């Protein structure tokens, strides 16, 4: 008997009609004789609405209370989905993260799953019911509820599939697969039938929201093959898996991340240890630095610029401003920028990709502020108001995607 984990995102469960639609997908699988575990997100914009409600009351609420609040969103959708399934004549039970055995570390708001005690879920499956589990949440060692970070229900589903040794893990969403660019922004984007874990991980980390990056990391680690597909249209989706050489595309996607900040320190000493002092202070604040640019030294000084997530900009600024040799230097912080990235496993063995990216930006008269590359991606930092134009222009340059 096959065991299937199916995850449904916020738009897929946003109202009664959508819940019935999701219940029918689950029941179809159940009636084929499979054991089905459904992992659900909060309905529609519930999580954003809860955050907004908190901010109206307290501009800086504690992370623990935020998690107490935000976990409620998934509780509502899980209970409603279980009732919908019952109403359609099949047995179902909903479980909160802790009831389903999700144990996490104590990092409220961005907790990591440490282990899943699957006994309760397995017991419910043995009883013959459909099990509905709240995504995005777990319990820490203080018996407090924690959340896994925005978009974390994908991670819940993959982790549960790995822990249960599921035969399939399906991620149902509001698009019918992973595209070469966000299909809502680039209408010519093409659906990929297959994408490798490494490419998907880069795309997800660089802004393609369709899968949460931690979920892809986990899928790769535990070798869980994922299928991303639409909850609204019954079409084949995109399979995320280990991909062989011959299946590799030159470019598999173009994406943007607008939550980026650039910090530049002008005229620091051109001596050994300067970069170490700066980035050591930033690391002490647990801030992840992304692109780093250092100018050529001139007259004993140089400039160092780097990017961080926009939400970390204040912490990074605070860190550098406390450094004795740096505090008196000119420090600039820009937040009206975006990172546009091109990802493709085939890049490793082809030349000329970077020049095509730069040509596409030149054609659109878009200035490149910073560049960073890895074996399978090229990222550029540009003005935020040109990010969509840049994605489209670069995407056009690499057509066709075959």
Chain residues binding ligand ADP by CB under 6 A are: 9-12, 41, 151, 173-175, 178-179, 181-184, 208-210, 253, 255
How many C-beta neighbours within 10 Å does residue 186 have?
18
Q: With b meaning 16 or more CB within 10 Å and e meaning fewer, what string describes 16-45?
A: eebbebbbebbbebbeeebbbbbbbbbbbe
Cα of 240 vs its chain's centroid, Å: 14
Euclidean distance between CA atoms 111 and 205, whole angstroms = 17
For Mg ion, the closer CB: 101 or 151: 151
Beta bridge partners of 269: 301
The distance of closest approach from Cβ of residue 153 to ligand ASP in the complex, given in angstroms and rounded to an integer, is 3
Task: Name which of ligand ADP, ligand ASP, Mg ion, none residue 138 binds, using a CB cut-off of 5 to 8 Å depending on partner kind.
Answer: none
For Mg ion, the closer CB: 195 or 304: 195
The distance of closest approach from Cβ of residue 60 to ligand ADP in the complex, given in angstroms and rounded to an integer, is 26
- Per the document, the length of the chain is 402
Residue 151 binds Mg ion (CB under 5 A): yes
The distance of closest approach from Cβ of residue 160 to ligand ADP in the complex, given in angstroms and rounded to an integer, is 16
Q: Sign of dihedral through CA atoms 154, 157, 163, 168?
A: negative
Judged by the rule CB under 6 A, the positions of this chain that interact with ligand ASP are: 9-10, 41-42, 47, 73, 135-136, 150-153
Euclidean distance between CA atoms 84 and 40, whole angstroms = 13
The distance of closest approach from Cβ of residue 170 to ligand ADP in the complex, given in angstroms and rounded to an integer, is 12
Contact segment (CB under 5 A) with Mg ion among 31-39, 144-152, 187-195, 223-231 equals: 144-152
Task: Name which of ligand ASP, Mg ion, ligand ADP, none residue 174 binds, using a CB cut-off of 5 to 8 Å depending on partner kind.
Answer: ligand ADP
Residue 220 sits at φ, ψ, to 5 deg, of: -65, -45
Residue with the closest Cβ to ligand ADP?
9
The distance of closest approach from Cβ of residue 10 to ligand ADP in the complex, given in angstroms and rounded to an integer, is 4
The distance of closest approach from Cβ of residue 7 to ligand ASP in the complex, given in angstroms and rounded to an integer, is 8
Euclidean distance between CA atoms 164 and 39, whole angstroms = 13
Euclidean distance between CA atoms 392 and 380, whole angstroms = 14
Task: Name which of ligand ASP, Mg ion, ligand ADP, none residue 73 binds, using a CB cut-off of 5 to 8 Å depending on partner kind.
Answer: ligand ASP
The site for Mg ion (CB under 5 A) is made up of 9, 151
């Amino acid at each position: 008997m096959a065991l299937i984990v199916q995850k449904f995102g916020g738009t897929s469960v946003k109202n009664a009609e959508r819940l019935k639609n999701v219940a029918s997908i689950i029941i179809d699988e159940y009636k084929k004789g499979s054991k089905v575990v459904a992992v659900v997100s909060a309905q529609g914009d519930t999580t954003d609405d809860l955050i907004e409600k908190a901010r109206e009351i307290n501009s800086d609420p504690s992370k623990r209370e935020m998690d107490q609040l935000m976990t409620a969103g998934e509780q509502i959708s899980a209970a409603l989905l279980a009732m919908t399934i019952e109403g359609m004549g099949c047995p179902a039970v909903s479980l909160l993260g802790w009831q389903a055995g999700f144990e996490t570390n104590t990092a409220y708001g961005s907790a990591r799953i440490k282990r899943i005690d699957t006994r309760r879920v397995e017991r419910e499956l043995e009883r013959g019911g459909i099990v509905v589990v709240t995504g995005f949440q777990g319990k820490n060692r203080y018996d407090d509820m924690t959340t896994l970070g925005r978009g974390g229900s994908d991670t819940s589903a993959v982790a549960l599939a790995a822990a249960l040794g599921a035969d399939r893990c399906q991620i149902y969403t509001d698009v019918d697969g992973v595209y070469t660019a966000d299909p809502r922004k680039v209408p010519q984007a093409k659906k990929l039938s297959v994408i490798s874990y490494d490419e998907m991980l880069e795309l997800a980390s660089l802004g393609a929201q369709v899968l949460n990056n931690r979920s892809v990391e986990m899928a790769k680690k535990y070798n869980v093959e994922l299928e991303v597909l639409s909850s609204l249209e019954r079409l084949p989706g995109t399979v995320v898996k280990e991909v062989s050489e011959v299946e590799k595309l030159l470019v598999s996607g173009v994406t943007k991340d607008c939550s980026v900040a650039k910090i530049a320190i002008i005229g620091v000493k051109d001596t050994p240890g300067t970069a170490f002092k700066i980035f050591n202070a930033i690391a002490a604040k647990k801030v992840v630095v992304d692109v780093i640019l250092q100018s050529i030294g001139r007259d004993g000084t140089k400039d160092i610029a780097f990017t961080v997530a926009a939400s970390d900009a204040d912490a990074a600024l605070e860190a550098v401003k406390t450094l004795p040799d740096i505090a008196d230097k000119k420090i600039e912080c820009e937040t009206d920028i975006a990172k546009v990235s091109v990802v493709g496993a085939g890049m490793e063995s082809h030349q000329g990709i970077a020049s095509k990216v730069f040509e596409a930006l030149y054609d659109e008269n878009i200035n490149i502020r910073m560049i960073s590359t890895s074996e399978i991606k090229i990222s550029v930092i540009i003005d935020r108001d040109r990010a969509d134009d840049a994605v489209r222009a670069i995407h056009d340059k690499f057509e066709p995607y075959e």
